[in-house]
C-alpha cells in the first residue's frame, strides 16, 4: 500500500489534482483501521460489550433509515430544518445520495453483522435478528430506489457460505476476485463499448449512463495506458452527451463509478499493478486473523466480495469514507469470537 500511495502522489505531478491527496488517503485509511484496534483489547468482556453496542446500533441504523425514507426524509429535516435560502428538492436530493451511501455501507458490513448475530446472541435469537436486519435494509433500499444493495447481498451470499465451510478458500477467492476486478477492469470498458444502441435503450438511465461512462473511461485509459492521466483527473473531464430525455450530462460524474477503471485511467498500468499487489498483500494478515474459524472466514470473505461488487459499480477510488469503511469492517472482524473462545464459554456471550 505504501508503494501504491506513493505512486498516486507522484502521478499528481502530471495531473490536475493536489499531490497531497495520496498522502491524505493513506492517513485516512491508517486512522480508520487503527481506531477500532485501539478500542479493542484482549479482555473478552470489553469485546463482548463493543459487539453488543455494534449490533444494537446496526439494527437501529437500518430501522431509522427505513423510517426516514418512508417519511420523505422527515427525520433528516426534523434535525436539520430547511434554511430560508435552501430548496426542498435539493435537500431531498442530498439526503437520497447520503442515504444511498449508508445503505451500501450496511450492505458491505452485513456479513460481519450476521457473524456477530450468530456468535454473540443467545441461541434462538440469531435467525429472527438476522431476518429483521436484512428486511429493514432491503426495505430502505427499495424506498431509495437503490438496486445495488440487493445485488451485493445476493452475490455475497455464496461466498459467505464458502468462507464458512473453508475459510482458506474463501479468503483466496474473495481477495482474488477483488484483485482481478482491478487488474482486468479495462475489460469492463470493452464490454460497455460493444453494447448496441437497442440494448442501451432498454436499460434504466442510470445504467445507460454507466456504460457510456465506462466506454469514455476506456478511451482515456488508451491515451496514457502506462502512467495514466494523473491522480483525481477524472473530475476535470467535461465532455458529455445528451440523454434520451434531452438532458446534457458529462460522461464522467466526478468519477467513473468503477475503482478498477478509475485506477487505470488516473494511475495507468503501473497503478493497477500496485493496487493489485496491495490487495494480495492482505492475505497474510487476514489469514492470521481468520485462522480456521468458520464465522470469521464467512465474515471476511463476505465483506471482501461485497467491497469488490460495490467498488465495481458505484463508488470512487479515492473517496476517503469508502476506504475507511473497508478498514473498519476488516478491523472489526476481531470482535467475532473464535470457536475455541465459544467452547471455553459454552456458547455465545
- Asked if 326 and 283 count as a contact pair (C-beta separation under 8 A), the reply is no
Residue 104 · residue 149 · CB < 8 Å = yes
Residue 172 has pLDDT above 70, yes or no: yes
Our measurement of the distance from residue 294's CA atom to the centroid of its chain's CA atoms, rounded to an integer in Å, reads 23
- Cα 233-97-102 angle, rounded to 5 deg: 105
* Model pLDDT for residues 211-240, shown as the tens digit of each residue: 888 988 999 999 999 998 888 788 778 787
Q: How much is the pLDDT for 206?
A: 78
CB-facing half-sphere around the CA of 299: CA atoms within 13 A: 31
3-state secondary structure of 281: coil
**Is the pLDDT reported for residue 75 higher than 80?**
yes
Question: Over the stretch 243-260, which tens digit does the pLDDT of each residue have?
Answer: 777 777 778 877 888 999
Percent of the chain residues topping a pLDDT of 70: 86
Mean pLDDT of 300-320: 91
What is the DSSP track for 79-105? HSPPPTT--HHHHHHHHHHHHHHHHHH
For residue 23, what pLDDT is reported?
A: 64
Q: What pLDDT does residue 36 have?
A: 56
DSSP designation for 253:
B
Q: Among 160-169, 321-330, 336-345, where is mean pLDDT lowest?
A: 336-345
* Arithmetic mean of pLDDT over the chain: 84
Rounded Cα distance, 337 and 49, in Å: 12
Phi and psi at residue 81, to the nearest 5°: -60, 155
Amino acid at each position: 500500500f505504501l508503494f501504491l500511495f506513493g505512486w498516486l502522489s507522484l502521478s499528481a505531478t502530471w495531473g490536475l489534482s493536489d499531490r497531497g491527496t495520496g498522502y491524505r488517503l493513506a492517513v485516512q485509511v491508517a486512522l480508520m483501521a487503527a481506531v477500532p484496534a485501539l478500542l479493542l483489547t484482549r479482555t473478552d468482556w470489553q469485546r463482548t460489550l463493543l459487539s453488543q453496542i455494534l449490533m444494537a446500533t446496526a439494527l437501529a441504523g437500518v430501522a431509522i433509515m427505513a423510517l426516514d425514507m418512508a417519511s420523505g426524509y422527515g427525520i433528516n429535516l426534523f434535525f436539520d430544518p430547511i434554511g430560508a435560502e435552501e430548496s426542498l428538492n435539493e435537500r431531498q436530493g442530498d439526503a437520497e445520495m447520503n442515504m444511498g451511501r449508508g445503505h451500501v455501507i450496511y450492505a458491505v458490513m452485513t456479513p460481519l453483522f450476521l457473524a456477530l448475530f450468530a456468535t454473540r446472541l443467545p441461541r434462538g435469537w440469531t435467525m429472527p435478528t438476522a431476518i429483521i436486519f436484512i428486511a429493514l435494509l432491503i426495505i430502505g433500499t427499495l424506498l431509495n430506489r437503490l438496486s445495488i444493495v440487493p445485488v451485493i447481498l445476493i452475490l455475497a451470499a455464496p461466498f459467505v457460505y464458502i468462507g464458512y465451510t473453508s475459510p482458506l478458500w474463501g479468503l483466496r477467492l474473495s481477495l482474488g476476485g477483488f484483485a482481478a476486478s482491478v487488474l482486468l477492469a479495462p475489460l469492463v470498458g470493452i464490454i460497455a463499448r460493444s453494447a448496441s444502441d437497442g440494448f442501451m435503450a432498454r436499460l434504466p438511465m442510470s445504467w445507460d449512463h454507466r456504460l457510456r461512462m465506462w466506454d469514455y473511461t476506456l478511451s482515456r485509459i488508451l491515451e496514457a495506458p502506462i502512467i495514466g492521466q494523473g491522480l483525481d483527473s477524472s473530475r476535470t473531464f467535461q465532455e458529455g452527451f445528451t440523454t434520451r430525455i434531452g438532458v446534457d450530462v458529462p460522461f464522467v460524474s466526478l468519477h467513473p463509478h468503477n475503482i478498477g477503471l478509475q485506477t487505470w485511467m488516473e494511475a495507468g498500468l503501473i497503478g493497477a499493478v500496485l493496487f493489485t499487489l496491495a490487495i494480495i498483500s492482505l492475505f497474510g494478515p487476514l489469514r492470521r486473523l481468520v485462522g480456521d474459524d468458520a464465522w470469521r472466514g464467512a465474515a471476511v470473505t463476505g465483506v471482501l466480495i461485497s467491497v469488490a461488487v460495490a467498488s465495481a459499480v458505484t463508488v470512487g477510488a479515492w473517496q476517503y469514507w469508502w476506504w475507511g469503511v473497508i478498514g473498519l469492517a476488516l478491523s472489526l472482524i476481531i470482535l467475532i469470537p473464535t470457536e475455541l473462545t465459544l467452547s471455553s464459554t459454552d456458547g455465545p456471550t
